[in-house]
Structure 1
Amino acid sequence: MIENELERQTTHLEMIASENFTSPAVMQAMGSVFTNKYAEGYPYKRYYSGCEFADQVEQLAIDRVCKIFGCSFANVQPHSGSQANGAVYAALLQAGDKILGMDLSHGGHLTHGAKPNFSGKNYNSFTYGVELDGRINYDRVADIASIVKPKIIVCGASAYAREIDFKRFKEIADSVGAILFADIAHIAGLVAAGEHMSPFSYADVVTSTTHKTLRGPRGGIIMTNNEDIAKKINSAIFPGIQGGPLINVIAAKAVAFGEILKPQWKEYAKQIKANAETLARVLIARGFELVSGGTDNHLVLLSFINKDFSGKDADRALENTGITVNKNIVPGETRSPFITSGIRIGSPALTTCGMKEKEFEFIGNKIADILSDINNTQLQIQIKAELKELAQKFVVYSKSTY
């Protein structure tokens, strides 16, 4: 099954916005002997002996991520972005406190207060969204905040193609005495390169995943410049919601952070945006509707609300041709979350493969061809052969390197 997955990744075009290809070095660290080590606690304050090298690895990861983002404190133990967000709430809120976050159907994340999620069950959650132009109206957010008076405001998204104004969010939070919490899971790699506004001058606490645009192992991180918040966060992670940290994953995080600190990272992040912009331009020219009319970051969100096919239909048709995307809820959604009226497409993984504007223009036109004749299986077969040939020219790892 692992061999089959390697084959899939090297013959398909990976365009899920939240996925990326790690370096072989990151995978080597994940598969290292650190997978055998229990290390409950924090560096130099463990509950187990034999942690001297685990301490060094975790401290290295902390030091590197603080250098990347220019922050003072970091916790690199969260197993995922969701657990990182859960720890922030556990550290700073009481059950029933008010959260104001982005509506899931408008591009937010489950952990930003969605009712089926723990964040919407344990806390009193309220939402803001986007306007008809697909963009956040910050004045409207301020109006909602003034009425709700939340304890914490969450800014960040999982399907929002425009730059987030953290400075404006800080002004809104200050106006109602709320804590500002920025979840930069999707845009962290761009923030690291200076290709997106940084939240660190404005937010009280920041979380991220370590995969997506950071191109590391699957996991989470929590960062802050506030020492008191840092202490509360550490207690919330351990012993609050997690036991032993995954030292092998933390080692892989440290490797990934080392890669981000290299000069080449800025060029990579610029290319992510350039490729997404090219994709958006092609799709718009071919007559497709993009939520917000374009992109400022690594993703585009297509809406099929006015089409006679769904996001699920589009997802399946593209998968049939070897393009991997994900169906996605869009603003004004009329279909169920299992069907949806949109798809989300991202550029990070194929940018890692070495693809540039030329390739993204070609792929964008192929996506448009498929969606313009979505039930044409013969066309899908023909395009699949073309795209497989393209994918195999840009593989990150072969069987020998793997």
Structure 2
Amino acid sequence: MNDQYSFRRRRPAAGAALLALACLALSPLSRAATTLPEVQVTKSPIPDYEFDSARNGKYCASCNGGMGNSLFAFTGADGKLWVGTVDFQTGAFYPPDGHGVLVDTETAPVADFGNGPEWMSGASGSRIVYTRYVTGSTHSESTAQIGMATMVNGTWTPSVLQNSLGRATPDGSKDDNDTNPRINYISADKSALFWRQMSAPGVEVTMPIADLTGGNSRRWVPGTRKIIFQGHNPSDARLVDQVYTYDTDSGAVEQLTFDAVGKYGAFMWKAPEYGNEYVFFTMADFRRKILVYRKIAGTDGVKRWTVIKTITPPTKLPYFWSPEVFTHNGRSYIFTVVSPSNQFWDKSYPTHLAISGIDPLKQNFKMLTNDTTKPRVRLDPEYFITAKGPFIYYNRLVPATTEYPDGVNDGVWYVDTGLGAPLSK
């Protein structure tokens, strides 16, 4: 799920002149670093694919009726929802175009609401949650509803959540041992937010946070019943977005940040560097910084969320987009797109990928891609920890021009982070 669902919505391209400008801006970087290898997974366009739970480096061959958990799901431009397989040993897609199993039709392509299907994990196996239109209807906000595919006797079986008409962009919780996983979603017009639990899938609960957010940035906090999101308090005259959590068990809303700098998206996770304490990160300063927060005691002895590390991008690529986090071999890593432009919707600018740890005592920011001989737009990165180690997958485009305002598909690629294979436990 993107940090901002609107990331993929179409905007006019800036044209060839901006492409030339971006290439010029990137040239100093190419002189300063050796080109890193990028591996093409497929030439086919596979928009907004999402990985099942094997992405965390734990492969389960017997899961999901013997189909395993090394899977990915996506909806094509034609509204068909597919599930493909990731070779856990090599990282290859099978089949290369992702058209392994057709799960459902009349599902919402990414361009409709800004997000594709998502996975829900739990003790009973994986589910796929997605936006689906009423069969045979005109596709619109009013005919959108929440679809869910469940593995039944070795077959993905689609269904629709009861009384979910006019709803969209679901996201499922992702705790493998959860006996009661949950789903959150929004009204298609972004006027309200909701959640349900699988022990009572027909019961919709309204989240009392619509005055804070339209739901553009929301994610489950692993190991909890909480959702972390960005929003702003309408009673605050600054109208600056901050980071909040909402607890679906207690109904409590907690504001985590309070300064005058706007925040963009947020991830919270258990950091092995700190004994699996919860930490979170967010983008700030108009996406020119990534701030990592930990709850630590001040001089008065009161614990507050405090910035422990500030990550900054290269001078020639000063903006972050689509950052995410994973943990591997006892460390946390934030990976991200870095861009020369603050116009994240404009695909005429070539972009790159980078990664950083969160240890405040280590300056370990690292470019993952830096080839400027073939200018490319790299977007929507996702991690998958294969048997060889963490790979970062992403879509690549030939940059947009006036003739091709959406760019030209260059397939799905990955780059090896070089962090090594998972340690056996």
TM (normalized to structure 2)? 0.26
Q: Which has the higher contact order (CA 8 A, sep 6+)?
A: 1
